[in-house]
A and B are shown apart, each in its own frame.
Chain A
Amino acid sequence: MSQEPDHGRTVAAHGSRIDAYVDRYAARATGMVASEVRALFAVASRPEVVSLAGGMPYVTALPLDVVGELVSDLVARRGPVALQYGSGQGDPHLREQICDVMRLEGIEGNADDVVVTVGSQQALDLITRIFIDPGDVILAEGPSYVGALGTFAAYQAKVVHIAMDDEGIIPESLAQTVYALQTAGSRIKFLYTIPTFQNPAGVTLNAERRGQVLEICQRAGVLIVEDNPYGLLGFDGDPMRALRADNPDGVVYLGSFSKTLAPGFRVGWALAPHAVRDKLVLAMESAVLSHSTFTQLAVGEYLATQPWREQIKTFRELYRERRDTMLSSLEALMPAGCTWTRPRGGFFVWATLPEGLDSKVLLPRAVAERVAFVPGTGFYADGSGARFMRLSYCYPEPERIREGVRRLAGVVEQELQLRDTFGTGAYPDHIGVDTPGPDLA
């Protein structure tokens, strides 16, 4: 180190930046930094905190003893197969069973067009990998699933949000956006949508609009990626007909056993047109060679031997009770000026705060009061959405949900007082997306 004095300082060689590889990361890793919001969620994992943040299924409602026996029996009977590498496309028998599951939503798929993936999240990653060059446009609902936005960002896609209301994507907004982008020469690679019990908004695309969305995309040559993890968890009537059911060539359908069975198996799938399917299998093989044979066979055994439709009913009833508790608690306790969606299935309520409030600013105080939620900014690619927050009802017991909403209402009250003190201008929209961890997505 040199020692030339300079205004009381000395000029030195380079300092340490701790990470020896700091200048070698790809540009897409630039945004991978420690974040305050993630730090706050570390507190939310403690049992003292009522977490209305996590999107974790209530797996305790499964017959765990039965699942345990099934897994043990699988190893005893079929161990040499279950513990061996499998095919890149996934176990053929499970793919047949997946077609049975999809039939509940009107899909007549062929097992040969199914690719089994590590949760539908991996299907999303593979789809993005094979379609997206940096700068390509992906259309997505605004707000959209945080895990999808993370994947799209990793492949340097440009996400353009499409406006939604209580009935899902607004077709006129979709048509206008597609027209404007295509006129400007943008390459729209696909529309990513969660049409049923959307994460995070909890809303469902109505039947009439489904036809309109399909038509708009077909006319414009825009592929649809339909992500449908919650479709079988509706609280009223039969499942909605999937978009894929009415356009096999224009839709890649993503499904998952994470919510209808358990996320720990990490079994999801993509159903794709043949040519896309071929590319997905190759991409799958280059990513992980093959999915876990063990968990695929375990899920297959579960579907073959257990009353899985009855189990889904059990989940539906459980989540319906929790949804009801959350809605009645919000109604009874939240300050005037707050609004929220009324989901007819799935896991989430999307709440809007009174004008001028910022859910990210609210979060530290909420954590101090022992309640957590996910701020809206995580669900927009541009970091907007500060007035919103996602409240999940899937995991806490009903009495904990009520207590959580009570605490949250108190926090919003305090924040309203602060807004009145400092003015609405003191709450600018934050830029920058804070991605929660996998248990919160």
Chain B
Amino acid sequence: MSDLGHVLVLAGGLSYEREVSLRSGRRVSEVLRAAGVSVETRDTDASLVPSVLADPPSAVFVTLHGGAGEDGAIRSVLDLLSVAYVGAGSDACRIAFDKPTAKTMVRSVGLRTPDSVTLPKETFHDLGASAVLGRIVERLGLPLFVKPSRGGSALGASIVRSAEDLPSAMVGCFAYGDTALIERYIEGVEVAVSVVDLGEGPVALPPVEIVPVDGVYDYAARYTAGRTEFFAPARLSPEVSAACAEMAVTAHTALGLRDISRTDLIVDAEGRPHFLEVNVAPGMTETSLLPMAAEAAGEDLGSLCRILLEQAAARGSA
């Protein structure tokens, strides 16, 4: 056993991504145990606070996706409990989880991100949907990508290639959140770049290229083995690959993230990367991108997670 003491892996929660989170939690727990760490895995429910107070873990690995897991809420509670955890602090999470805010922040440090508009559903109700949607199409052009301003796993997200499809995309989006981010869709290569900081500053792992078999990286394509082909490292020239890595590290730094993050981006036909969004609790399932990137880099996932926990424990709570 490692001298880390016992650690806690948080998984589950009440977000739409509960199932994915449980899978991530199982995977992280397994690799940590294989790396000699004493692990307890638990859901976030009413027993969490008393149990952490009764037997504080040396550090927490948060594998909660969506909602409280990524918007800073759980991390604020961990701060209140004086427990150290892997990953960004609550304030940084709050900013990064809100996609429009994150886009504004990374654009301010010079990163390229697709033009977009963010609107709550009330705006469409109050001003009339057709007038507003018409103006959006005029202004941003087609195709568009519509997604909830907060959330993940492509839930509520869709590509819109003709103006008449926009209303149903909006309805699908508002099923998962009250505010929509509508951005210009960039045709290109989907790439995810994971960033880890093992004590010597944030470093990009090899970019992973995503090629969905059916052309769309939706929920089924994300979590059904075989529905997507992954290239790790991505089939990019060294220059483009380096530009992607730089974008991910810059975003990680600009957003004040810590330890671990994953930036999703698209490389256009000219080889230019465009920032789409960042994840503060990247998926860790068998079909997730960060574990693939770690493997491509020759890193053992268990050792990587253990080091991150050791760093967090040494850093202590906020």
Which residues from A are CB-within-8-Å of B17? Answer: 39
In the complex, the answer to whether A15 meets B209 with C-beta atoms within 8 Å is: yes
Kindly state whether residue B14 has any CB partner on chain A within 8 Å. Answer: yes
In the complex, the answer to whether B14 meets A46 with C-beta atoms within 8 Å is: yes
The smallest beta-carbon distance between B82 and chain A, in angstroms, is 27
CB-contact partner of A16 in B156, B172, B239, B292, under 8 A: B292
- A residues 32-49 in Cβ contact with B at 8 Å: 32-36, 38-40, 42-43, 46, 48-49
Which stretch from A6-14, A175-183, A204-212, A314-322 is at the chain B interface? A6-14
The smallest beta-carbon distance between B43 and chain A, in angstroms, is 8
Kindly state whether residue B227 has any CB partner on chain A within 8 Å. Answer: yes
In the complex, the answer to whether B219 meets A39 with C-beta atoms within 8 Å is: yes
Main secondary structure of the interface of A (DSSP, over half): mixed
- How far is A226 from B190 in the complex, measured between Cα atoms in Å? 51
In the complex, the answer to whether B271 meets A15 with C-beta atoms within 8 Å is: no
- How far is A34 from B14 in the complex, measured between Cα atoms in Å? 19
In the complex, the answer to whether A18 meets B170 with C-beta atoms within 8 Å is: no
Which residues from A are CB-within-8-Å of B6? Answer: none
In the complex, the answer to whether B240 meets A8 with C-beta atoms within 8 Å is: yes
Kindly state whether residue B55 has any CB partner on chain A within 8 Å. Answer: no
In the complex, the answer to whether A17 meets B124 with C-beta atoms within 8 Å is: no
In the complex, the answer to whether A15 meets B231 with C-beta atoms within 8 Å is: yes
Kindly state whether residue B303 has any CB partner on chain A within 8 Å. Answer: no
CB-contact partner of B286 in A11, A18, A361, under 8 A: A18
Kindly state whether residue A19 has any CB partner on chain B within 8 Å. Answer: yes
In the complex, the answer to whether B230 meets A421 with C-beta atoms within 8 Å is: no
CB-contact partner of A427 in B168, B220, B222, under 8 A: B168
- A residues 189-215 in Cβ contact with B at 8 Å: none
The smallest beta-carbon distance between A32 and chain B, in angstroms, is 8
Which stretch from B18-26, B94-102, B107-115, B248-256 is at the chain A interface? B18-26
Kindly state whether residue A438 has any CB partner on chain B within 8 Å. Answer: no
In the complex, the answer to whether B19 meets A38 with C-beta atoms within 8 Å is: yes
Kindly state whether residue B228 has any CB partner on chain A within 8 Å. Answer: yes
- B residues 229-246 in Cβ contact with A at 8 Å: 229-232, 235-237, 239-240
Kindly state whether residue A134 has any CB partner on chain B within 8 Å. Answer: no
The smallest beta-carbon distance between B70 and chain A, in angstroms, is 16
- How far is A42 from B12 in the complex, measured between Cα atoms in Å? 9
CB-contact partner of A364 in B156, B167, B168, under 8 A: B156
- How far is A11 from B235 in the complex, measured between Cα atoms in Å? 6
In the complex, the answer to whether A418 meets B174 with C-beta atoms within 8 Å is: yes
The smallest beta-carbon distance between B23 and chain A, in angstroms, is 10
- How far is A373 from B305 in the complex, measured between Cα atoms in Å? 38
0 or 1 for each of B1-25: is its CB under 8 Å from A? (1 = yes): 0000000000000111111101000
Kindly state whether residue A425 has any CB partner on chain B within 8 Å. Answer: yes
CB-contact partner of A17 in B156, B229, B240, under 8 A: B229
In the complex, the answer to whether A12 meets B235 with C-beta atoms within 8 Å is: yes
Which residues from B are CB-within-8-Å of A18? Answer: 225-226, 228, 230, 286-287
In the complex, the answer to whether B231 meets A418 with C-beta atoms within 8 Å is: no
The smallest beta-carbon distance between B158 and chain A, in angstroms, is 12
- How far is A277 from B288 in the complex, measured between Cα atoms in Å? 48
- How far is A361 from B19 in the complex, measured between Cα atoms in Å? 19
Known: A22-B225, A39-B17, A46-B14. A17 touches B270 (CB 8 A): no
In the complex, the answer to whether A9 meets B240 with C-beta atoms within 8 Å is: yes
- B residues 176-204 in Cβ contact with A at 8 Å: 176, 189
In the complex, the answer to whether A361 meets B175 with C-beta atoms within 8 Å is: yes
- How far is A146 from B230 in the complex, measured between Cα atoms in Å? 34
Known: A17-B226, A34-B224, A421-B124. A9 touches B18 (CB 8 A): no
- A residues 108-154 in Cβ contact with B at 8 Å: none
How many of B's residues come within 8 Å of A, CB to CB?
A: 53
CB-contact partner of A39 in B16, B129, B175, B228, under 8 A: B16
Kindly state whether residue B140 has any CB partner on chain A within 8 Å. Answer: no
Which residues from B are CB-within-8-Å of A362? Answer: 175
Which residues from A are CB-within-8-Å of B225? Answer: 17-19, 22
CB-contact partner of A9 in B14, B219, B235, under 8 A: B235
In the complex, the answer to whether A426 meets B167 with C-beta atoms within 8 Å is: yes
Known: A7-B269, A22-B225, A426-B171. A364 touches B236 (CB 8 A): no
In the complex, the answer to whether A42 meets B220 with C-beta atoms within 8 Å is: no
Known: A17-B229, A33-B220. A425 touches B167 (CB 8 A): yes
In the complex, the answer to whether A39 meets B20 with C-beta atoms within 8 Å is: yes
Chain B CB count within 10 A is highest, among A7, A18, A361, for: A18
0 or 1 for each of A403-441: is its CB under 8 Å from B? (1 = yes): 000000000000001111111011110000000000000
- How far is A33 from B235 in the complex, measured between Cα atoms in Å? 27
Which residues from B are CB-within-8-Å of A16? Answer: 229-232, 292
- A residues 145-176 in Cβ contact with B at 8 Å: none
Kindly state whether residue A313 has any CB partner on chain B within 8 Å. Answer: no
In the complex, the answer to whether B175 meets A8 with C-beta atoms within 8 Å is: no
In the complex, the answer to whether B14 meets A35 with C-beta atoms within 8 Å is: no
Kindly state whether residue A365 has any CB partner on chain B within 8 Å. Answer: yes
Which residues from B are CB-within-8-Å of A43? Answer: 14-16, 18
- How far is A362 from B172 in the complex, measured between Cα atoms in Å? 9
CB-contact partner of A422 in B170, B189, B223, B239, under 8 A: B170
Kindly state whether residue A5 has any CB partner on chain B within 8 Å. Answer: yes
A370 — nearest CB in chain B belongs to which residue? B14
Kindly state whether residue A102 has any CB partner on chain B within 8 Å. Answer: no
Kindly state whether residue B211 has any CB partner on chain A within 8 Å. Answer: yes
Which residues from B are CB-within-8-Å of A48? Answer: 14
- How far is A216 from B171 in the complex, measured between Cα atoms in Å? 44
Which residues from A are CB-within-8-Å of B269? Answer: 7
- How far is A162 from B230 in the complex, measured between Cα atoms in Å? 44
List 3 tightest A-B contacts by C-beta distance, closest first: A8-B271, A22-B226, A19-B225
Chain A to chain B contacts (Cβ below 8 Å), 21 pairs: A8-B239, A17-B213, A18-B287, A19-B225, A34-B220, A34-B224, A39-B155, A39-B223, A42-B22, A361-B171, A363-B175, A418-B174, A420-B125, A421-B124, A422-B168, A422-B170, A422-B171, A423-B129, A426-B170, A426-B171, A427-B171
With A17-B227, A43-B15 known, 5 other A-B pairs at CB within 8 A are: A9-B235, A10-B237, A15-B229, A17-B225, A43-B18
Q: Residues of A with Cβ closer than 8 Å to B? A: 1, 5, 7-12, 14-19, 22, 32-36, 38-40, 42-43, 46, 48-49, 361-365, 367-368, 417-423, 425-428
